[in-house]
Structure 1
Amino acid sequence: MSPPDPPLKEEREMRRFNQILTAALCSTMFVPAVYAQEAPQAEEDSGNEPIIVTATLRAMDVQDIPLAVTAVAPEALEREGVSDIKTLSSISPSFNIQSSQTETQGTSIKIRGVGTTGNNTGLESSVGVFIDGVYQSRPGVALGDLVDLERLEILRGPQGTLFGRNTSAGALNISTKRPSLSEFEGFVNASYGNYDFMNLQGGVSVPIAQDVAGIRLSGTWRKRDGYLKSTTGAESNNRDRYMLRGQLYIEPNADVSIRLLADYSKVDENCCDAVVVRETELAPFFAFHGLTTDGVDVSGPSALKGLDTNSQLFKNGAEQWGVSAELKWDFGGAKLTSITAYRDFQSSSTQESDFTSLNIFTSGAGGSNSRPGILPNGDIIKTFTQELRLQGTAFNDHLDWLVGAFYSKEDITSNQSMTFGADYQRANSAFNFANALGVNPLFALTALGNGGIPVNSAGSFAENVFSQSAKSFSFFTHNVINFTDKLSLTLGARYVDEKKTASFDQLNASNGACQASVNGVLTGAFTAALLPGAVQSGVVGLNCFPFAAPVTLTAPAGLGGGLASRFLPLPREWANVFKDDEITYTAQVGYKANPDLLIYAGYSHGFKSGGFNLDPTAANLTNSAAVLAGGGTVAPVFADPRFESEKVNQIEVGVKATFGPIKANLALFDMKMSDFQVLEFTGVQFLTFNVNSARSTGAELELFGDFGNYVTGNLAMTYADARYPSDCAVGVAPGALGSVTRLCGQDLTNAPKFTSVVGLTYDGPLNNSGWGLLVNGSMNYSDSRTTRTIDLDTNGLPVPLARQENYFKMNARIGLTTPDERFTFELWGTNLTNEITRGITANTPLRGGAGTRSLIGFVEEPRMYGLTVRAKF
């Protein structure tokens, strides 16, 4: 049943308003040339001032660094409506970030098409995020609002030599503004937009000892209604968050500086529901099994276009705080830098996460099915890091040397709980067996293993806890040898030692239907004549859905009793240790042919730590059929919950040139990954495994131009052929071979071959009025991309709707600044053409099998627009 249509008059008015706004904002793309003809010529800003970055942990002009680096000023972030790192793709086409079921756990960052899929806390990101020099251990930790920034740098390719842990694909280096030691300054920004969007940002810097010490306070509050609306009345993908940051900066003399930072943030949002983009052909069988509805009222293209879902509850919150201390001390012959940091991050999630309106199951606490007092879902991540660097020059500045050490300790507790609802067995019978086994076989067949009395699974639950403690040591060096004023060689290396200990423990669980199903198989009550082997596995797999299956399930006395997980692939507790060490290294040759031309080539070897699949099925039995057939004579073989470290080798060749008012940067790259880490959701469980090889080959072009008369423009294009080679399954573990074989020859997930961004800005006077005018327009393009981990289903056939088709998205902003430059008023819009795109497409849990799967799509932001008022003082 579709939701009622809005009144025709209201719909016409809304459509007319959107058309007027879009036309007005899109027209700003062409305004700069008109005002540029009337405005006086700028006298000083030539557009050739150096852009200073710290991508090599040295303050350098970005045009002199033999690396592919995109430096983004805070003004550019504001113009493009970039409020957090999730929207950075509108600035850099090489950058991609997506979220799935939760933002705190299911967020994945990719650069050049390479990155790690999310939704498993055991997986660390291939793209490291560093804020004021402090490593953020998971993308979900770094998703706070970007406010009061000094600069943002996107480093592409392996960065492990200088930036340490888990930067095999790249790094984000974010720096916030330091307190001013000499002047009082501050700002306030207030915004209002569609979906009842409200945002308040502010900051103030106060010298407390002239030219010696100052403090800076900044914060942001953001609130917005959800853009996904469910037929149940629920909404999702809203915003409700705030962040506070305080700094103390002390510079007692020219040689010493101390910077102390503290921040606190809280998120309490509804995230992340998904649209059913394809419904299963088995949906009509709901009535046969006694259900009053199939749970999906809206689906397909119309639901996607209308941003309509079918779910009930999706809550995702987080609370975190952190402190850091930075000491810089110039001894004369060398400079010492010390960064000490501690961060405490806690997330929570409660979801009716079957993505339908049926009462199937609840993940977490506080839902309609949740058992009173059940363990809440979420992660607790506590991280301590310490970095020391010593840097200096020698041989008349022909050698710029740097040595350092890094230590981190991270403790993770990941809580996972689930409770089955009243519709669990009937829904899974309908959408997995249709009418082949009679009415509600998941309920009826349990009688065979329970003395003739069927067992209802409603209320079954499990409370699972995963713990991981990780320690990392590393020593590194990074040196620039200047043979001449034009020719330089950069050599760097880092030794990394990783150790992780992890365990899976179940606090409490009860599932009588699961035990009865296990009894039916192990006692022989489920005969081959009654149920073929595959159907027996299906009955056990569904009644024993891994997230709510007790680890204490018992085997019958005839098999010696004990745990049933010795005979069937059922969750079992485990504890294990992961160790690895690696030497990462880099070498770049740079030739500065003249002040306006740098030619460089480099080779880098990167590393991302392995670890543990924090999933109840991670250590399941792998040879169940052989064990059962052997009658106790075949030893059980259990899966290893560990996955291997990921390694990457990259060759990069580039040119950075300045042609008058235009800066042009070109980079060619070839990245070869081995033991590439992949996460797949099958619809029943999360599988984490290593793929033998993956590769990304391509080119990046960035152009920045200052055309005079206050008009600037930018163009960035990326071509990246990120793919799994045809032989990517060579040497893969047997348990992952089925999945990896289907991957070989496919593109990497969310890795479009061609992406681009183009923008034009006028920022100058409005005629001779004394007022300032800002006009900015930009457009980004993306080729089609696969949005699934694996495009082929288990039957070897393509999964429908696996790819997101190519699209254009447009942003625009127009603003007026008062003559005293204290106030600015801006009208803005993002995704003006309202392109509705999917970031991730996945199997709807427990709804259909190969060839009949229901599919869900996690949707990216639709059109957003509003007004912003800025004040400076």
Structure 2
Amino acid sequence: MADIFNLRSALVAGVALAALVPATPVFAQAADTMVTEEDEIIVSARRRDERLIDVPVAVSAYSQADLERLQAIDLAGIQGTAPNLNIVQGRGSATSANIFIRGIGQPDALQTFDPAVGVYVDGVYLSRIQGALLSLGDVERIEVLRGPQGTLYGKNTIGGAVSIISRKPDLNVLKGQASALYGSYNQILLNGYLSAPLAADKLALSVAAQWDKRDGIVTDPRTGRKYNDRDSLTGRAILRAQPTERLELLLSGDYTRQRNALTLGYATAPLAGIRPIPANPYGQYDYKASTSFRGDEGQRLDHWGTSLTANFELSDAFTLSSITAYRKLRPDLFIDIDATEAELGDVFVGIAQEQFSQELQLKWNTERFSGVVGLYYLDEVVRSHQEAYADDLLGIPFTRLIDDRQRTRSYAAFGQATYDLTDQFAVTAGLRYTHEDRVYDRLTTVATSAAFQPLFPPFSFPGSLPAPFNNDNKASFGAWTPTLTLSFKPTPDTLLYGSASRGFKSGGFNGRANSINDLTVVVGGVPTIVTQFRPETVWTYEGGAKGSFMNGRVRLSANAFLSDYKDFQARVGGGSLAVFPVLNAGELRIWGLEGEAAVRPTDRWNVRVSVGYLNAEYREFNDGRRPPTFSCNPTGNAITCEPAFAPPLTLTLGSDYTIPLGSAGGLTFGGDGRFVDAHFLSVDNRSNLREPGYWVANAFVQFDSAAGWYLRGGVKNLSNSLYRTDGQEFSSVGNIQTVYFGDPRTWNATVGFRF
């Protein structure tokens, strides 16, 4: 612990120094490939192509080469590589992306909660975390923006954004690549990409596909069955047309199909019921867990969408863009929440979601004045059918049946503009107004023996509540969210900036309400029915510096930020049997330091560093069921009241070195190590749902031939570290407290070619 403390102290001091002395910052904002001065890193974080070092925003960028070095197959592959970024496979599901930035994310995976971090694919917002763990076969780059977003993006997000930009088909050049990987647990990964011009300068088509299959890494000792496998097929096609020099059309379609076995965690607390089970039933975790499911129950997902983007240059200065998109999501998920042979928290969740979105943008770029104004509309309908099986909880046949439907209509107008007051000083201002209407309907019933049926009457929402709440299933929310940034460029390749921005996340309805108890909270000592949770808002203040030095061989930046959150939305456990209230728990404050560096000591050697420090605390946590009022911890101990998924320190170190082999090609050795500090995996800080901190190291060696083909061998999690990535807290149902673990050490070998 002393070593970790000393490491943390030294790194925090270094980042603090970088933030306070911006003329010579210590860390950088991009994890991209080190390039020559004429090959600048270009991002579109502000809806126009700009050099990364000119963007006064906390943004990290990843090229396709970066993703290959990270051995990233899907979005989880960039876990921990940007400061204060946490991307993991969602709890209990192989299809979900649970994303936290600066300690802010979606603490409950239920579809009635909005993500705090938005995932965008070519400008199209994905409304649900289910199906968002996307494959990366045809990605040009990924941009990770930290902090509230809304004056530039169609859909607002309070914690940050992950923007995935696909490769456009080339209008004149035939391009392609393919690869085949074989690895541990019989993993087979096939990737293919082809871009072909159909009419020179006018029309081109690209097609990409990926097949990923791997045996399960978790074994049930009682049956020998394997779980936590991989089995997905994805494809994307993009048709690009440029009928005139000023008009570009992009028609895109994508499809993802997943067919997995169960995703099992591990029970960390003793389970109560008619079959008591001790904590850690198979001792120290060794990728063994049990389940009460005995058939072919698993996880299925079909996710597809299409979009049409039109970019029309009205003049040399003005461009009008339209993004029209439709998406459909169909996950059918069996989840053993308790991860034991007992039938306590076994569920089926079938979701039917569809969304239509339309975004219009008017962008301009003149000598001193640039910006974008836009309109956005989203219409989403999400239905679910859920079944919860708990025969072993009370010793009676028990199945809860849930059917619900939520419709959300979101409207927004937004704009952001930058004016260069001088060649060095610029001011950026933005404003957004968001209005959302929601309608939510829910019906729960219980299938049990006739003698116990009266104990579990049907509960409908609306319908089962007393007046005046009986028909309270509609809600509207709205907010103004401004932003202001001042930036100064001491030299053409350095930047200093300061900003203030407000973020907003809509309110909603408790999607776990099974009785009036779930909607009853203590307000001022009085039990009160609360049918909705309010929106949460944040003000974030940030200052930073970035620069490029030595002809692009050194790229550095650092930033410091402070975020004040109001009405933080929390689903809390404990208390009465099977009661799941959702609270606007109160206030939290998060401040931190972030930095990245990309250094190229020689033409053959690249070094990358990323570090983030977080100081996150609840300033108020209102849960009237527990004394004192200010406590998120079920023991009432406010000392351990910390926001979940907010590790104080995250660190990534990466390097690669290439040895030229003359006309044969080149040999590259590379690797990276990631440290994630101790943090809680549940909102209410249960000691069983805590990750004590870990290191993960990866390495690869690759031969690139002059003819365009390559061979690569890689190892992930070299030291076979055992680390927790996520948790399930359903303590009010048999004391369920389940954790999920990252993959053990694995190896892989790849052969591929490019042209």
After superposition, the Cα gap between the structure-2 partners of 1:759 and 1:297, relative to the gap in structure 1 and judged at 3 Å, is: closer
> 1:674 pairs with 566, 588, 591, which one?
566
**Rg: which structure is higher?**
1
After superposition, the Cα gap between the structure-2 partners of 1:406 and 1:740, relative to the gap in structure 1 and judged at 3 Å, is: farther
Aligned-pair CA distance for 1:492 = 0.6
Aligned-pair CA distance for 1:67 = 0.7
Aligned-pair CA distance for 1:103 = 2.9
1:616-651 deviation line (CA, Å, top 9, x unaligned): 3364377799xxxxxxxxxx9773331111111011
Structure 2 residue aligned with 1:263: 254
Contact 1:312 1:356 in 2 (8 A): yes
Structure 1 residue aligned with 2:738: 856
Q: Distance in 2 between the 1:361 and 1:393 partners?
A: 56
User: What SS is found at the alignment partner of 2:195?
Assistant: strand
Tell which deviates more after alignment, 352-361 or 476-485.
352-361
User: What SS is found at the alignment partner of 1:693?
Assistant: strand
Structure 1 residue aligned with 2:368: 398
> 1:242 pairs with 229, 233, 257, which one?
233
1:686-721 deviation line (CA, Å, top 9, x unaligned): 332212211210111111111123111111111111
> 1:324 pairs with 286, 289, 307, which one?
307
Structure 2 residue aligned with 1:58: 48
Structure 1: tracts of 5 or more residues without a match: 1-43, 365-376, 427-456, 519-543, 553-562, 626-635, 792-798
1:743-781 deviation line (CA, Å, top 9, x unaligned): 555221111101110111124523x35222121111111
After superposition, the Cα gap between the structure-2 partners of 1:551 and 1:581, relative to the gap in structure 1 and judged at 3 Å, is: closer
Aligned-pair CA distance for 1:842 = 3.9
> 2:611 pairs with 711, 717, 739, which one?
717
Structure 1 residue aligned with 2:495: 598
1:416-451 deviation line (CA, Å, top 9, x unaligned): 123444x4434xxxxxxxxxxxxxxxxxxxxxxxxx
Structure 1 residue aligned with 2:699: 812
Pairing of 1:736-747 with structure 2 (within 5 A): 741-742=631-632, 746-747=641-642
User: What SS is found at the alignment partner of 1:78?
Assistant: helix
Corresponding letter in the other structure for 2:710: T
> 2:212 pairs with 197, 201, 222, which one?
222
Corresponding letter in the other structure for 2:653: V
After superposition, the Cα gap between the structure-2 partners of 1:276 and 1:463, relative to the gap in structure 1 and judged at 3 Å, is: closer
1:194-239 deviation line (CA, Å, top 9, x unaligned): 1111111111111110111000000111111121212233332211
Contact 1:786 1:804 in 2 (8 A): yes
Pairing of 1:59-208 with structure 2 (within 5 A): 59-103=49-93, 107-208=97-198
Q: Distance in 2 between the 1:187 and 1:299 partners?
A: 47
Corresponding letter in the other structure for 1:342: Y
Structure 2 residue aligned with 1:311: 291
After superposition, the Cα gap between the structure-2 partners of 1:863 and 1:47, relative to the gap in structure 1 and judged at 3 Å, is: farther
After superposition, the Cα gap between the structure-2 partners of 1:691 and 1:847, relative to the gap in structure 1 and judged at 3 Å, is: closer
Alignment of 1:801 onto 2:683: no
Structure 2 residue aligned with 1:443: none
Corresponding letter in the other structure for 2:403: V
Corresponding letter in the other structure for 2:265: A
Q: Distance in 2 between the 1:706 and 1:760 partners?
A: 10
> 1:473 pairs with 387, 390, 411, which one?
411
Corresponding letter in the other structure for 2:459: V
Alignment of 1:425 onto 2:394: yes
Structure 1 residue aligned with 2:385: 415
Contact 1:586 1:604 in 2 (8 A): yes
Structure 2: tracts of 5 or more residues without a match: 1-33
Equivalenced residues, count: 702
Aligned-pair CA distance for 1:335 = 0.7
Q: Distance in 2 between the 1:105 and 1:735 partners?
A: 35
Q: Distance in 2 between the 1:566 and 1:621 partners?
A: 14
Corresponding letter in the other structure for 2:417: N
Aligned-pair CA distance for 1:574 = 6.5
After superposition, the Cα gap between the structure-2 partners of 1:45 and 1:334, relative to the gap in structure 1 and judged at 3 Å, is: closer
Contact 2:92 2:337 in 1 (8 A): no
Aligned-pair CA distance for 1:303 = 3.6
Q: Percent identity?
A: 26
Alignment of 1:829 onto 2:719: no
Structure 2 residue aligned with 1:580: 477
After superposition, the Cα gap between the structure-2 partners of 1:351 and 1:763, relative to the gap in structure 1 and judged at 3 Å, is: same
After superposition, the Cα gap between the structure-2 partners of 1:178 and 1:684, relative to the gap in structure 1 and judged at 3 Å, is: same
1:307-346 deviation line (CA, Å, top 9, x unaligned): 1112243622211110000000001152100000000001
Q: Distance in 1 between the 2:35 and 2:378 partners?
A: 44
Q: Distance in 1 between the 2:724 and 2:379 partners?
A: 36
Aligned-pair CA distance for 1:551 = 3.3
Bigger strand fraction:
2
Pairing of 1:728-807 with structure 2 (within 5 A): 728-729=620-621, 732=622, 734=624, 741-742=631-632, 746-763=641-658, 765-766=660-661, 768=662, 770-791=664-685, 799-807=686-694
Q: Distance in 2 between the 1:605 and 1:819 partners?
A: 51
Q: TM-score, normalised by structure 1?
A: 0.76
Q: Distance in 1 between the 2:630 and 2:614 partners?
A: 22
> 1:870 pairs with 749, 752, 755, which one?
752
Q: Distance in 2 between the 1:505 and 1:781 partners?
A: 45
Contact 2:521 2:530 in 1 (8 A): no
After superposition, the Cα gap between the structure-2 partners of 1:831 and 1:104, relative to the gap in structure 1 and judged at 3 Å, is: closer
RMSD of equivalent CA atoms: 2.8
Aligned-pair CA distance for 1:508 = 7.5
Corresponding letter in the other structure for 2:206: R
User: What SS is found at the alignment partner of 2:82?
Assistant: coil
Corresponding letter in the other structure for 1:781: F
Contact 1:107 1:119 in 2 (8 A): no
Pairing of 1:239-638 with structure 2 (within 5 A): 239-279=230-270, 294=276, 299=281, 302-304=283-285, 306-313=286-293, 315-332=298-315, 333-360=317-344, 362-364=346-348, 377-393=349-365, 397-421=367-391, 423-426=392-395, 457-458=396-397, 460-506=398-444, 509-515=447-453, 518=455, 550-551=458-459, 576-617=473-514, 619-620=516-517
